[in-house]
Structure 1
């Protein structure tokens, strides 16, 4: 598991971690450990957002939390979301769509999707921080953990890679269903306990987690049909979709 943790933190964060093993078994363990990465990064972003919210207001706190999360991942998931939006929006065959996704520029579908997703995340977090700094922080943590749970589900063994090479091919099909269920259950329990400590219903965070994962699952099915599998960009898009779905569920509850 130590190699899996190194792999997870080394690929999913800016933290300088020496990755000693780069193989599919280790990749599978890394994807099972992905929610732990979300807990660490989400904790940092939640703390930053809460501090800013206390001094500068709920909206600035929300912006700070989103910015810190983006910085701690080098914007990796946001970049994947934009690329997938351009690929899906192109209407091209799978091979051409994948080529569009690999290009370094960003198209109109990507820009529009990024804008709407970031606005939705900031708006939802602003409402949570308006209630209290603690509830805003918990919303950030819920979104971060949900996003990384989506990575775990995106790498289930039946899910193929869209192309050889790259992170997507390394992690695709490496996670057993039982492992994904166990990790998700553990994440739901941890979030439920955190919510109870903040005075919320114990079901609020697990329901948000389920909603976020449901949104990511719909996108995963679409991408597998459209691209014949997953790529690293698809995984990034799943993470941002899950996070946004969870935040909207919390805001609309």
Structure 2
């Protein structure tokens, strides 16, 4: 429970009790990220349902606002930083790290965040009438990503969130969450695509970025969520 509270405190803006800091809690909390995703999914699904009582577009907007609020735009910030770094680096890793560390948002970051929000809004509008279960589970599936990437993708730099969680993920964590993801696919078949998305993003992060950092983990969560939402839209119409 302690590590779940730590994970909720870091990944959401939900009020949590204050806990005395203990060595290893922050890193080990990564094992609870998918549970945090379930909480995020519940908030988003509740907002979508409430808004959809008025109009499907209102449901989509309410879901997007709730999604952004409950996460504090934490992962969107990582996506913006990654986009700025890739846009400005031109293959120079030193330049990439420098731009990603800059607290200011550049044009590449703004464009990436706007496109991400637009893609989520449209996808939410298209799935809100029938995709409640998947909407609950997609944020949880996306937060399995950091566990996989921490084991499969090298670190981009020493220190920071990426380094903190790299050694905290155990094989049994991946197996356990993988089995739960498989079980969730019974009620939300789109989750079967999650492992493919996570592996492809891991390959992209390795080749294009050079490794993982806190910003890259955040960007990966955002990209996974949107990819699964779009796949759900396609599946509903096939």
On whether the aligned pair clears a TM of 0.5, the verdict is yes
Note the C-alpha offset of 1:53.
0.8
Runs (4+) off by over 4 Å: none
CA deviation string 1:83-123 (max 9, x = no partner): 11111222141121111011122222222222222222111
Please give the per-residue CA displacement for 1:130-165, whole angstroms capped at 9, x wherever unaligned. Answer: xx3xx3432321321122122222222x53332233
Equivalent residue for 1:81?
79
Show the counterpart of 1:202. Answer: none
* 2:148 alignment counterpart: 153
Residue of structure 1 in register with 2:110 after alignment: 111
Q: 1:212 to 1:78 in 2, by over 3 A?
A: farther
Is the 2:184–2:191 contact (alpha carbons within 8 Å) kept by the matching residues of 1?
no
The normalised TM-score by structure 2 is: 0.88
Q: For 2:118 and 2:31, locate their aligned partners in 1 and report how far apart those are by CA, in whole Å.
A: 30
Q: How large is the Cα RMSD of the aligned pairs?
A: 2.1
Q: Name the counterpart of 1:170.
A: 164
Q: Equivalent residue for 1:200?
A: none
Q: Is the partner of 2:45 in helix, strand or coil?
A: helix
CA contact (8 A) 2:137 2:184 kept: no
Q: Using the alignment, how far apart are the partners of 2:122 and 2:3 within structure 1?
A: 35
Give unmatched runs, 5+ long, in structure 2.
none
CA distance in 2, matches of 1:103, 1:216: 27
In structure 2, the CA distance between the partners of 1:210 and 1:238, relative to structure 1 (3 Å rule), is farther
In 2: Cα distance, 1:238 partner to 1:31 partner = 14
**For the Cα contact (< 8 Å) 1:9–1:17, is it kept in 2?**
no
